[in-house]
Amino acid sequence: MNAPAHAAQLQPRIDPRPVPQALLDALSQRFGAQLSTAQAVREQHGRDEGSIQAPPPAAVVFAESTQDVQDAMRLAAQHEVPVIAYGAGSSLEGHLLAVQGGISIDVGRMNKVLSIDADDLTVTVQPGITRKALNEAIKDTGLFFPIDPGADASIGGMAATRASGTNAVRYGTMRENVLALEVVTANGDVIRTGTRAKKSSAGYDLTRLMVGSEGTLGIFTEVTVRLYPLPEAVSAAICSFPSIEAAVRTVIQTIQLGVPIARVELIDANSVRMVNAHSRLALREEPMLLMEFHGSAASVQEQAETVQGIASEFGGQAFEWASTPEERTRLWTARHNAYFAAVQSRPGCKAISTDTCVPISRLADCLLASVDEADASGIPYFLVGHVGDGNFHFGYLINPAVPEERERAEQLNHRLVARALSMGGTCTGEHGVGVHKMGFLVDETGAGAVDMMRAIKRALDPKNILNPGKIFAL
Amino acid sequence: MNAPAHAAQLQPRIDPRPVPQALLDALSQRFGAQLSTAQAVREQHGRDEGSIQAPPPAAVVFAESTQDVQDAMRLAAQHEVPVIAYGAGSSLEGHLLAVQGGISIDVGRMNKVLSIDADDLTVTVQPGITRKALNEAIKDTGLFFPIDPGADASIGGMAATRASGTNAVRYGTMRENVLALEVVTANGDVIRTGTRAKKSSAGYDLTRLMVGSEGTLGIFTEVTVRLYPLPEAVSAAICSFPSIEAAVRTVIQTIQLGVPIARVELIDANSVRMVNAHSRLALREEPMLLMEFHGSAASVQEQAETVQGIASEFGGQAFEWASTPEERTRLWTARHNAYFAAVQSRPGCKAISTDTCVPISRLADCLLASVDEADASGIPYFLVGHVGDGNFHFGYLINPAVPEERERAEQLNHRLVARALSMGGTCTGEHGVGVHKMGFLVDETGAGAVDMMRAIKRALDPKNILNPGKIFAL
């Protein structure tokens, strides 16, 4: 295993371009009270949930329509000033940082459901609606939107980072579930990509090019996503294992057998301990799988029996079932709070989150070697994972006042990424590149592929004003 | 409903660029017997299964390695001569036509399976292997590759046209099933896109950009695709219906209920008649659904019962089951021969195939109005469809010697596309744009989106040598 040539970016290159007063005046004239230059507002829009920092944007436009986004974009283009789209602020890799200055366009007020097409299992929304609000809005249709990255992220932001999360093992990621987009381009024009048809061979797949482009190719103003019928039966279970390896081997065999499990999350003993403390639970403080099965009553039972059989072969114990919605919510809330529980376990700490994803056959090797390294490092950590997809997250809990801790954590991350890449995996399963993983991206795809990305970026955004300084240096 | 502004391209613009003797000499020197300039070979490589014609390429290189493709590409780039990749020759929209001259690179000899990763449900192949040969090569693994466009197309060609077919309703299209590519770019460099990890957020989705790019952005030299465990149980059934509408309504309800049906094909009475004659069968000459269910024994039974219940509500009769592989093969062979059966039903005819795909709720409206128009036209036709995806094909059987017949057929196609677009659908569900649907593409996506495609093309292929004159004019 060779180390990757490039380290994670600990400190982004801060290179703000001037934001002329003439632009601020023009924005103020056009947007009035929809524009803010207040320090607190700018600072809130200049950070995300990651641990990297940069000075805030010069102003924030609260867009309420596609036209607003177009007008803000055109003014910014005139002055060659960067534009950063802001949804819910829940990204993790520095996506929202104004590393080259510029203005933020907050699309949070564009949060309407535009069209529910229940018969077609699709919905078209504005980008600022969050996934929970979307599910609330469609709850009477018998359908649901399954993508669940944990945070109550905006649909636009989830599309921009190609997010996924706990349900992806069954329902796919934003890559599979975004059908169509309305996009404001770098010169303020509007294009539409895709249709509501389930499949298409109509030219370049601009939808998939835009999904995961992290705001660098356009700003999404409408998003059409797939919905799914609420399963007739849902059953959740937790199962404790004598070791992480036993839990992981259970997952690998489940996936290889083709069991259509809807969720299968690994939670290590550290995380269980933190979650117990945070959520006042009394879960066994051992590695655990949290599973969910969707389908007809018969299918759910069949799936559950298959997995229970596999788990017991690997020493899985204490299968506990949660079939009522309340019990399930309790379990999944605990899972979703793992991050916050962990951060609270070490007051004042920051979590540095890893995001590697490997082919399922290499999951145990990749994960266990990295657990050994994390244990040896002395850095407190927790480990959770969407292991059915081969994706897992270490959260290294560092004291941000001690640079040496950050460095040690990044070295762990570095070795983990190298290991994942050597196994045919990726440095980021779902968080995206942002500013943090720009070096890793080159190691993963090679300079030629990154050059191709740069060529596309230059072609679609010649002034480099769409969230510049993200994904790759330009 | 407005008619689309652009008609289908009946006659492509033929604008051959000079192919200098110096290039042919250099190719001959490099490739020896792997180069052919024989008239028959060139003609075979200058056409596809579609009905549009153009003069053949100037020469054919039979590539046997990535290095061969790179070297041919570099020589072509030096002389600014077009390069057209050739797989199995089964495309339908003029994809392979040398409308701007140039050379063909036949990758048919690059047909090896490079790596079977059964534990990860992936396989990496060279582009020239056909889907049947791939399934033959992996038959001992307990896995299969589900994408089945009917023709025994090459995997590289299927990726290039974003193909799908009968199994897509359950397993997705090439969009969902290509994980990674090795691509030779316009200047002869090699890049890799994607990894073997199931999901990734690592930068622009170059894999999905390349899938469906019809040879205009690069030539694929390796393709990694997903495999699936062979289902424990498979059951196929045919069911006749009193009308096309009854059959379609059965499908719509099946999809809306979320039944994970693996295949559901509509075959109209015309097609059944032609298939009976061609395959010596005695199927009831009524509209028919041909279905297949995959899963555990219990799940297959449950699915079949659900669909049978829906079908009988709509007057479906004569549910006939085929549970042995031989019976199933007989039925699917009949389905796959529908095209040939139809063409043989009118000696000397050419089939002009439509390929619209609409949201499932609009399927009945779109299809029935188009059946009425086809009936009124007097043009013989057949109708088959992957109706679970909202995708269907009329095949208008025209006498190519009678231009007026072609025109009438294209008018039917034109109205069908306009109808599909007005319903939120696409002009091409799986065949691609080629030269035939360039006008329709503009109607579907708008000039702005096509301009974005052009900008990407110019950025990645500044000399416009990769299959020029396809998808859009440049």
Residue of A nearest to B162 (CA): A201
Tokens of B461: 């292929």
Q: Tell which of A182, A208, A229 closes a domain.
A: A229
Tens of pLDDT along chain B (474 residues)? Answer: 445 567 676 678 899 999 999 999 999 999 999 999 999 999 999 999 888 889 999 999 999 999 999 999 999 999 999 999 999 999 999 999 999 999 999 999 999 999 999 999 999 999 999 999 999 999 999 999 999 998 999 999 999 999 999 999 999 999 999 999 999 999 999 999 999 999 999 999 999 999 999 999 999 999 999 999 999 999 999 999 999 999 999 999 999 888 999 999 999 999 999 999 998 888 899 999 999 999 989 999 999 999 999 999 999 987 888 878 888 888 888 888 888 899 999 999 989 999 999 999 999 999 999 999 999 999 999 999 999 999 999 999 999 999 999 999 999 999 999 999 999 999 999 999 999 999 999 999 999 999 999 999 999 999 999 999 999 999
Identity of the amino acid at B164:
S
SS3 B91: coil
Whether residue B293 sits in one domain with residue B193: no
What residue ranges of chain A have pLDDT lower than 70? Answer: 1-5, 7-10
Angstroms from A4 CA to nearest CA on chain B? 15
Residue ending a domain, choose from A45, A80, A108: A108
Q: What is the 3-state secondary structure (H, E, C) of A329-353?
A: HHHHHHHHCHHHHHHHHCCCCEEEE
CB contact under 8 A, B424 and A196: yes
Q: Which of residues 54-113 of A touch B (CB under 8 A)?
A: none
User: What b/e string do you get for B443-464 counting C-beta neighbours within 10 Å, with b at 16 or more?
Assistant: bbbeeebbbbbbbbbebbbebb
Tell me the nearest-neighbour CA distance from B307 into chain A, angstroms: 14
> Is B417 near chain A, with CB under 8 Å?
no
In a domain, B456, yes or no: no
**How far, in Å, CA of B440 to CA of B8, rounded?**
6
Is B449 a domain residue?
no
ipTM for the assembly:
0.96
* B161 in the same domain as B31: no
Q: Determine whether the interchain pair A199/B298 forms a contact, defined as Cβ–Cβ distance below 8 Å.
A: no
Q: What per-residue confidence (pLDDT) applies to B1?
A: 43
Provide the domain limits for residue A274.
231-344
Give the pair of three-digit tokens for residue B317.
Answer: 């009769």
Whether residues B97 and B177 fall in one domain: no
CB atoms within 10 A of CB A13: 12
In a domain, A350, yes or no: no
Mark yes or no for CB contact B208/A213 under 8 Å.
no
Q: Is A115 on the interface with B (CB under 8 A)?
A: no
Question: In what helix (H) or strand (E) does residue B420 lie, and over which residues does it extend?
Answer: helix B403-422
Long-range own/partner contacts, residues B445-451 (CB < 8 A, 24 or more apart): B445/A191, B445/A192, B445/A193, B445/A202, B445/A203, B445/A206, B446/A191, B446/A192, B448/A185, B448/A189, B448/A190, B448/A191, B449/A191, B449/A192, B449/A193, B449/A203, B449/A206, B450/A203
Q: Specify if B435 maps to a domain.
A: no
Assess whether A209 and A236 both reside in one domain.
no
Chain A residues in contact with B359 (beta carbon < 8 A): 117, 119-120, 122, 196-198
Instruction: Tell me: do B95 and B119 sit in the same domain.
Output: no
CA neighbours within 13 Å on the CB side: how many for B145? 34
Of A189, A357, A472, the CB nearest to B200: A357
Rg (CA), chain A: 22
Confirm whether B276 is domain-assigned: yes
Cβ pairs A/B, distance under 8 A: 282
Residue B4 has a pLDDT of 59
Q: How far is CA B373 from the centre of its chain?
A: 25
Q: Tokens for A141? A: 């249709």
Between CA B104 and CA B87 the distance in angstroms is: 10
Q: Are residues A118 and A225 in the same domain?
A: yes
H/E element, B352: strand B350-353
CATH number of the domain within which A317 lies: 3.30.70.2190
Kindly report the CATH number assigned to the domain that includes residue B400: 3.40.462.10
Question: Would you call A429 and B197 a contact, using CB atoms and an 8 Å cutoff?
Answer: yes
Q: How many domains does chain B have?
A: 3
Place of tokens 């009988």: B312
Cross-chain CB nearest to A122 (options B359, B430, B460): B359
**Which residue's structure tokens are 């019962």?**
B305
In a domain, B74, yes or no: yes
B264 and B384 co-located in one domain:
yes
Give chain A positions within 8 Å (CB) of B213: 204
* A399/A420 Cα distance (integer angstroms): 26
Helix (H, G, I), strand (E, B) or coil at A9: coil
Residue type (1 letter), B232: E
Q: Could you give the CA distance from residue A292 to residue A235 in angstroms, rounded to a whole number?
A: 6
Q: Which of B200, B443, B461 to mutate to test the interface with A (most CBs of A within 10 A)?
A: B200
In Å, how far is B3's CA from the nearest CA of chain A? 18
User: Residue B201 gets which letter from DSSP?
Assistant: -
A224 and A148, same structural domain?
Answer: yes
Which tokens belong to A449? Answer: 């592929």
CA angle (B266, B272, B277) in 5-degree steps: 155
Cα distance between residue B185 and residue A452, in whole Å:
9
**Contact between chains at A427 and B202 (C-beta distance less than 8 A):** yes
Q: Distance between CA atoms of B164 and B178, rounded to whole angstroms?
A: 12
DSSP at A128: T
Query: What CATH number is given to the structural domain containing A168?
Result: 3.30.465.10
Exposure on the CB side of residue A236, measured as CA atoms within 13 A: 21
Contacts of B200 in chain A (CB under 8 A): 162, 357, 426, 428-429
- The half-sphere exposure of B82 on its side-chain side, counting CA atoms within 13 A, is 26
| pLDDT at residue number A2 | 46
Q: Do B208 and B274 fall into the same domain?
A: no
A228 vs B258: CB contact, 8 Å cut-off? yes
CB–CB of B238/B256 below 8 Å?
no
Residue B204 at interface with chain A, using a CB cutoff of 8 Å? yes
- How close B228 gets to chain A, by Cα (Å)? 7
For residue B51, the 8-state DSSP code is: S
Q: What are phi and psi of B430, to 5 degrees?
A: -155, -10
Interface test with A, best of B115, B198, B208, B467 (most A CBs within 10 A): B198
Residue B451 lies in a domain: no
Provide the CATH number for the domain around residue A53: 3.30.43.10
Last residue of a domain, one of A175, A204, A229: A229
Collect all residues of chain A within an 8 Å Cβ-Cβ radius of residue B164.
199
Nearest CA to B318 out of B288, B293, B294, B359 is that of: B288
Q: A284-287: which pairs have CB atoms within 8 A and are 24 or more residues apart?
A: A284/A240, A284/A318, A286/A240, A286/A241, A286/A242, A287/A240, A287/A241, A287/A242, A287/A243, A287/A244, A287/A246, A287/A247
- Measure B28 CA to nearest chain A CA, in Å: 29
A119 is a domain residue: yes
State whether A154 and A220 are in the same domain.
yes
- Kindly write down the DSSP assignment for every residue of B315-343, as one continuous string: T-EEEEEE-SHHHHHHHHHHHHTHHHHHH
Burial of B285 (0-12, 13-18, 19+ CB in 10 A): middle
- Tell me whether A177 touches chain B (CB under 8 Å): no
B201 and A431 within 8 Å at the Cβ level: the answer is yes
Q: Are A414 and A281 in contact (CB under 8 A)?
A: no
As to burial, measured by CB atoms within 10 angstroms (0-12 exposed, 13-18 middle, 19+ buried), residue B210 is buried
| Judgement on whether residues A38 and A78 belong to the same structural domain of the protein | yes
Reference A353, options A368, A374, A332; nearest CA is A374
- Residue B117 shares a structural domain with residue B96: no
Spell out where B39-88 has E strands: 59-62, 83-86
How far is residue B453 from each of residues B38, B222, B450, measured CA to CA in Å? 35, 24, 5
Q: How far apart are CA B180 and CA A455, in angstroms?
A: 20
Which of A197, A255, A452 shows the shortest C-beta gap to B424? A197
